[in-house]
Structure 1
Amino acid sequence: MNRPHASVQHTIGIIGVGEIGKALVEGLRHEGGASPAIFLSPRGTRTAAELSERFEGVQVCADNQEVVDRAEVVILAVRRQDHADALGELKVDDGKTVVSLIAGVSVDALRRNLGTAAPIVRAIPLPAARERRSVTVTTPAHPTVDALFDQLGRSLPVADEEAFNVFSALTGTLTAHYAYLATLTAWATSHGIPAESAERYVRGLFENVGRALNDESRSLDQLAADHETPKGNNERIRTTWFDPGNANALKEALDGLLADLT
């Protein structure tokens, strides 16, 4: 459930207008929501231009430096492999607030790259920010940044970058979930079910599962138990497919990703 929040009072700049950058703009303008001006980098030109046309007060800048100069809160949403080239020549005034969405790049490394004493906060907003439903992990806690992400759902400040990297690794499981659903759909299709019908059913099945997650009075283990009949169909798939070997393989994959992020 979303917490009450105040409207964002700072101009915002976004460098790197990909899927997450787009979701942030859409969330800030969700259902006609007003916020101060939003300045976008020309990186991701087509998306930036489309957002500028859709929403009042959203402007595309000539270059990344103009984004920094015009915004009070600067959000860095470029890919890790591109960040050195994209940010290396920027001059960031110490009075700005920098929010880094770049996975695997520490605050210290980014500060060296930018050569600034400005506050730097790491964050992991999710695509659900566009509906103001994202739980966004941040570190360190910062009143301006946490208020921004409260407006887009809820901020979740964590103690340090070690904890932050664990959450970052968890985020890496998102597309595996979609691939799991696609595999279920393909299996049904292989047994003669029309692809459209199979996909509609799988989507509906897991949309209902997602709604159950809103009940925070029950742990995830309890939710699993409540949806399972002893010796029933769900128990059979869980115990024969998602066995200890499968669970350990997932944990090892997460450990490898965490090591890379650290």
Structure 2
Amino acid sequence: MVIGVIGVGRLGLALVKGLVGGGIDPKDINVYDISDEALKRVEPLGVSLRRSIKDLVDASEIIIVSVKPLDALDVVKAVAPILSKDKILVSVAAFIPLQAIESNVKDKRVYRAMPNIAVEVNKGFTALTPPEKRCTEVENLFKVLGEVVWVKEDLLDLMTLISASTPAIVAELIDAFILVTLKAGVPYDLARRAAASVFQGIGKLAELKDVSAIRDSIITPRGSTIILVEKLYTYEVKGRLIKALSDAVEEYLEKLEKFRKEFS
């Protein structure tokens, strides 16, 4: 399977790195970007740099559109006249609905994907749609990058915030752990490794157990853990975090509704 990636900004570059890291031959990955700087960043990976969208589409079987939402439909319109029926188009642009893409690409296989930045290390979580047109080629491609789920489009739009955006919050939490560990006197490299390992390990446990059960399995009477947990409640950390995330969700839903009305 030959893959084409249009747009190698932050997410596009992460996708390409994950594909190469997941064992895809770099020669089977075509890349195009209007930015020479972006192409220079991806060139060391050994992928095939293409001179135009047409060049990329002609040489690829699955084409991933990885550009900003405001640019996505312009790219789709450029792809449409040269997209044959044997090729597959996948958009990872937030907000732009399938209906808007399909109206420009008639009678072709079109999908949306919402990955997160962890695809770079093959630990991503990607939502795919539409589930009623489930495609083995698309699913297997994104499985190289991590976990994959098929969902209805309205749920995929929610995953944009829940899955694709929240890694930034997790990074902030890890940073807080590192800073506190540094204050305690632990060297930076060790602090960073410890924090990353803790979050990875608890993430894996959370797949198997309720998070409250994980917490309760660590707490002991008059131990150090109960002191930490007590401070979280004393300073209302959890409540304030929930409030901040809830407010962000409300703002996101308002933004999403505006996009939906624009394309309805």
How does the TM-score come out when normalised to structure 1? 0.80
Q: What are the residue-to-residue correspondences of 1:221-236 with 2, within 5 Å?
A: 221-229=212-220, 232-236=226-230
Q: Work out which structure has the larger RCO, using CA pairs closer than 8 Å and 6 or more positions apart in sequence.
A: 1
Partner of 2:91: 100
AA in 2 matched with 1:251 = S
Structure-2 change in CA distance of 1:78 and 1:117 (3 Å): same
| Pair 1:147 & 2:147 matched | no
1:4-41 per-residue CA deviation (whole Å, 9 max, x = no partner) reads xxxxxx21110001222222222222275437721111
Greater mean alpha carbon deviation, residues 164-173 or residues 101-110: 164-173
1:183-235 per-residue CA deviation (whole Å, 9 max, x = no partner) reads 4555677x6x67x8367425523422322321322122322333444672221
Structure-2 change in CA distance of 1:207 and 1:162 (3 Å): same
| Pair 1:76 & 2:65 matched | yes
Moved >6 Å (runs of 4+): none
1:78-125 per-residue CA deviation (whole Å, 9 max, x = no partner) reads 01122234443332333321111101111111223x333212111122
AA in 2 matched with 1:134 = G
1:243 Cα deviation (Å)? Answer: 4.3
Greater mean alpha carbon deviation, residues 229-238 or residues 169-178: 229-238
Partner of 2:34: 43
Whole-Å Cα distance in 2 between the matches of residues 32 and 243 of structure 1? 40
Unaligned runs of 5+ in 2: 258-264
AA in 2 matched with 1:256 = E
Whole-Å Cα distance in 2 between the matches of residues 251 and 123 of structure 1? 24
1:71 Cα deviation (Å)? Answer: 1.2
Partner of 1:253: 248
AA in 1 matched with 2:78 = E
Greater mean alpha carbon deviation, residues 161-170 or residues 240-249: 240-249
1:36-72 per-residue CA deviation (whole Å, 9 max, x = no partner) reads 72111133433434534432xx211111222222211
CA contact (8 A) 2:120 2:145 kept: yes
Partner of 1:129: 119
Unaligned runs of 5+ in 1: 1-9
CA contact (8 A) 2:4 2:63 kept: yes
AA in 2 matched with 1:163 = L
Structure-2 change in CA distance of 1:199 and 1:32 (3 Å): closer
Partner of 1:3: none
Q: What are the residue-to-residue correspondences of 1:25-44 with 2, within 5 Å?
A: 25-30=16-21, 33-34=24-25, 37-44=28-35
Partner of 2:173: 180
Partner of 1:17: 8
Whole-Å Cα distance in 1 between the matches of residues 169 and 218 of structure 2? 22
1:123-177 per-residue CA deviation (whole Å, 9 max, x = no partner) reads 122333233222221112321100111222232112x111112211112222122
Partner of 1:4: none
CA contact (8 A) 2:26 2:48 kept: no
Aligned partner of 1:109 among 100, 104, 115? 100
How many residues are treated as equivalent by the alignment? Answer: 246
RMSD of aligned Cα (Å)? 2.8
**Secondary structure at the counterpart of residue 164 of structure 1:** helix
| Pair 1:156 & 2:146 matched | no
Whole-Å Cα distance in 2 between the matches of residues 255 and 208 of structure 1? 30
Whole-Å Cα distance in 2 between the matches of residues 255 and 145 of structure 1? 31
Whole-Å Cα distance in 2 between the matches of residues 180 and 166 of structure 1? 22
CA contact (8 A) 2:95 2:157 kept: yes
**Secondary structure at the counterpart of residue 103 of structure 1:** coil
Whole-Å Cα distance in 2 between the matches of residues 139 and 233 of structure 1? 45
1:226-249 per-residue CA deviation (whole Å, 9 max, x = no partner) reads 344467222123313324354233
Whole-Å Cα distance in 2 between the matches of residues 219 and 203 of structure 1? 25
